Structure 1
Amino acid sequence: MIKVLLVDDDAIVRGGLRLMLGGAPDIAVVAEAADGSEVPGLVAAHGPDLVLMDIRMPGVDGLSATEALRARPGAPDVLVLTTFHTDEHVLWALRAGAAGFLLKDTPPQEIVAAIRTVAAGDPVLSPAVTRRLIDRVAAGTGRGSRAAGARARLAQLGDREREVAAAVGRGLSNAEIARDLHLALPTVKAHVSRILTRLDLNNRVQIALLVHDADTLG
């Protein structure tokens, strides 16, 4: 059973999500929060496997809540809800450790599938949408320094690890990486784990963002 914590300041949205997820036999909504400030206590009390997190809330926003939560050992995964076209903070939520994001108009069956995907350890991340998010941020300040920093961090990896990281950056699954690089699937998983440890990252989404920084901001 995948235990889910719903975090959204709109009670109607929470009610709709609870009703929708109630039809999935392997998903249980264990608690709800109307603000990011409630998240730590509810996580401690209910031990969810995944937090479905809104970005814009009047108190502690989803970005701050995600960053604080993912900094804790053993934290649940975070799947961010966003309107995308008006919310410019999604990329930063991913940098903070979110496993991906959904648009609020995502069809119900795709939300359920996304929750299962993240719970299984894989990100919900569209390379095309990620590119658009990166392009928004890339126009800001600090591009050169961020690109240089990303390249310096990737330089800590071995040659094969950099190949795996680059493949993650292209949005490939472990199975696709294994096929393209002619590696066994357990070997790919081991490389990904070592990359996360060496670069002090939370998940493969952050690997992808680091690769994109190195490739697009210089």
Structure 2
Amino acid sequence: MSIYTKITASLPFIEVDLNLTSKQMSMFIKGLKYVIPCQRRFSRKPIEQMVNEQYQNISTIVKNCLKDHYIPTTDIRAKQAFQELKCLLSELYLKPIPRKLTIRAKREYKIVRSIQQFLHCRTDIVIRRTDKSKVFYIGKAIDFERKAEEYMLKTEAYQEITNGRSPLSDILCAVQTLLEYLVRKQALTPKQRNQISPKLNQLELGHYHGLPKPHK
């Protein structure tokens, strides 16, 4: 049976010969949304450490979301909810895994590792996520360099960073200074300033990627 018999919107864009085996390609085309099962079985970390790390990741996201909507995260209900979350994670990590699922997890983990090692050695290709989606794009590195140079010369919309220093911090400082000035002049309230202030964990420079747009 061909691995290409089922074509979906999540299939990767591949513009270079990868020379993957059929098993590797079958796993690869599942894309970024696919998560191999039972990953904790292949970690050398203690279960308690994995539980704490998972809890910190989830609780931080939830707390930030609550703060964005001005919902308290330290009252009794919130503390109880976060405590129950940690208990639930502990139960899930300690729950026995069926033998059949364990065998499948080991097989898929081995395939994924082989793909990672193979792609790591392919310095001639570029792997990216396509615009506004979670679909892989794999192309030739030399094509990306050519497209970027042509686009920059044509539009003059981008500037190459040659000194290794990102101007993002300077831009952030300028925006924050302007917002503080507007608050002092009573053109904005402190609440409005907080609402429109850049979120540090979401900042990034505008950049040219030259990737296809599968959503269009």
Same fold (TM over 0.5): no
TM range (shorter): under 0.3
TM-score if structure 2 supplies the norm length?
Answer: 0.22
Q: Which of 1 and 2 has greater Rg?
A: 2
Using CA pairs under 8 Å that are at least 6 residues apart, name the structure with larger relative contact order, 1 or 2: 2
TM-score (norm: length of structure 1)? 0.22
